[in-house]
Amino acid sequence: MSTKHMAAAAALLAAAAFAPAGPPERSPQEIEKALATVEKQERERVLLAAKLADTVCAVFQGGGGGSGVIFTADGLVLSNFHVTRLSPTMRIGLNDQRIHPSVVLGVDPSGDLSVLRLTEERTWPFTPLGDSDAMEQGDWVYAMGNPFLLATDFTPTVTLGVVSRINVYQPGSMRGQLLYPDCIQTDASINPGNSGGPLFNFAGEVVGINGRVSLRERGRVNIGVGYAISSNQIKKCLPDLRAGLIVQHGTLNATVNDLQDGEWPGGVRVTFTQIMKPGCAADAGIQPGDALITFQGIPITETNQFVRLISVLPKGRRVHLRYARLGEDSWEEREVKLFLDGIPLVRAADAARRKTPTVYIEHEIDRTFGAARKALQPITGETRTGTRTVAGRDAFPIEERFAQRTYGLTIGDRVIAIDAEGGTDRGTPMDPDVRGDLLERIHAWNDLLAPDRGERFESVVFEGGWLVGDTTVDKMVAKTKDGKERIYYIDLDSGRLLRVDLYAQGWAFWTSVYFSDWREAGGLLRPYKVRIFERDKDKLLQTFDYESIRKS
């Protein structure tokens, strides 16, 4: 047995000497097997730390600085706002001992986030964002970065700890900046210089961005209480950051407080106390004294819970509230949908001076449309059968037929689009209204599938993010050559087109088309459910439920 093995065995035996009487002593073979397991786990940790280190950044401009992490293969970097501020460019030091230039795309002063892009066009080592909601108290985590700017050769340090708490609310400072409404608390050492660095889980994913510590009277050194912005909060703001925006977090322009009420479920009534004008809550008719019941379908039981839920959403998101107003004898429940106001934390003059180079926003547009093209690649000439339901009428059978149209890009790289060819409605040829709707849906898909959007669009603007259900998506506003607008909502992770707003020429008004129930057909993922609404009026017009999608 090696010296290392003997030392480990001695430690195990010493621990056993102080343990209560239990099972018989382990045999040498059992000890050897246990040691092999420990050594295997140690090797895996070392290898993982080495792999993650290649994605950890030292982020700086002048004498100070912080940390960051590359989270996409094309060189997007996450860091803290208090590291980059409104600087247009930063320098990135990596584990290759080199300095790389970067531009700052978007910043989130309230949520203390920045997204940067490494300007060199290459494939970068990266660590993807994980699911912070899957973390539990006691889970092991790595914190990596550049504490006290010690990494003069840009080799990051690593500290090991556990998740102390989850879904922690930490109030902001500096006029509402640096608010951590849904963060992870850890005892992994986080010190000045670690700001903006990653918190990794043992699956090798980024579950948080380190940014704050509790100091008390011990000076600016770690005392075992650090906070990381959760990855799921980051995902909600990520489209706005990639679009080069200065993110404003959402507000109702109203305040709520907990009131003790023995007759209210749970004994606490979350009540609106102030309604500011102008403001989205005032515009929606909410009044002081009204009781908040649900927010985004989640029952609200205390003020801190509500603040945590709303604070992770950016300005402009459409949200659903249910509240109650006291009448003469009882509470009357009401529902409202509204667009969140924003909390501006950057002076308008400073915001106006900050311009993200167009070429980097174009890159983000191409990346999103590219993902959508890949996911929406249609079956070569297809027939869809199923049922169509028009509001207020019974469902009836429908068949849609499409012919292929192929665009050549380069050799071996082709994009196929499809055109409406015909079909039946209740067994007879489609009527003009149905045909018009069908053509609008197909054209909306073909716009994304076309290899050169310049052939179809006069302009495309990346407006940041939006919510489609519970999914945060990219929002693209495209002006077509004929003067119309189409608005696309694309989930970058999957590339799926979840919604498109378009002007339905057959009906002469705006509609929203939602795609869902994605299943495999012909080796490709296809949406088997299509719902068409009057845009922003929540009036369901038609539903298409497909039973079969197959080659014609």
Domain ranges of the chain: 56-242, 250-342, 358-551
pLDDT reported for residue 215: 67
As a whole number of angstroms, the distance between CA 299 and CA 281 comes to 18
CATH number of 56-242: 2.40.10.120
Catalytic residue among 67, 79, 82, 164: 82
Return all residues near 461 (Cβ < 8 A) that are at least 6 apart.
476, 477, 478
Two tokens at 536? 């922003």
Task: Check if 512 is active-site.
Answer: no
As a whole number of angstroms, the distance between CA 317 and CA 340 comes to 6
Q: Which pTM was predicted? A: 0.89
Two tokens at 101? 């230039």
DSSP letters, 344-367, are --S-HHHHHH----HHHHHHHHHH
> What is residue 222's three-state secondary structure?
coil
Which long-range contacts does 266-273 make (Cβ < 8 Å, 24+ apart)?
266/301, 268/301, 268/302, 270/300, 270/301, 270/302, 270/303, 270/306, 272/323
Catalytic residue among 102, 195, 231, 311: 195
Task: Check if 195 is active-site.
Answer: yes
> What is residue 519's three-state secondary structure?
strand
Cis-peptide into 278, omega within 30 deg: yes
Q: Is domain 250-342 in CATH 3.40.50.300, yes or no?
A: no
Scan for tokens 């993922």, then name that residue.
525
Task: Check if 82 is active-site.
Answer: yes
- Region class of 158: left (phi > 0), else alpha (psi between -120 and 50), else beta: beta
- One of 2.50.20, 2.60.120, 1.10.10, 2.40.128 is the CATH number of 358-551, namely 2.50.20
Catalytic residue among 79, 102, 108, 112: 112
Please say whether the dihedral angle defined by the alpha carbons of residues 234, 239, 245 and 249, taken in this order, is positive or negative.
negative
Each residue's pLDDT expressed in tens, for the chain with a length of 552 residues? 444 444 454 444 444 445 555 566 888 898 899 999 999 999 999 999 999 999 999 999 877 789 999 999 999 999 999 999 999 999 999 999 999 999 999 999 999 999 999 999 999 999 999 999 999 999 999 999 998 877 678 999 999 999 999 999 888 765 567 889 999 999 999 988 999 999 999 999 999 999 988 766 555 666 778 999 999 999 999 999 999 999 999 999 999 999 999 999 999 999 999 999 999 999 999 999 999 999 999 999 999 999 999 999 999 999 999 999 999 889 999 999 999 999 999 998 999 899 899 999 999 999 999 888 888 877 778 899 999 998 878 899 999 998 876 655 554 455 667 778 888 888 888 888 788 888 888 888 888 877 777 777 899 999 999 999 889 999 999 998 888 899 999 999 999 999 999 988 777 789 999 999 999 888 888 899 999 999 877 789 999 999 999 987
Query: Which of 539, 477, 543 shows the shortest CA–CA distance to 514?
Result: 543
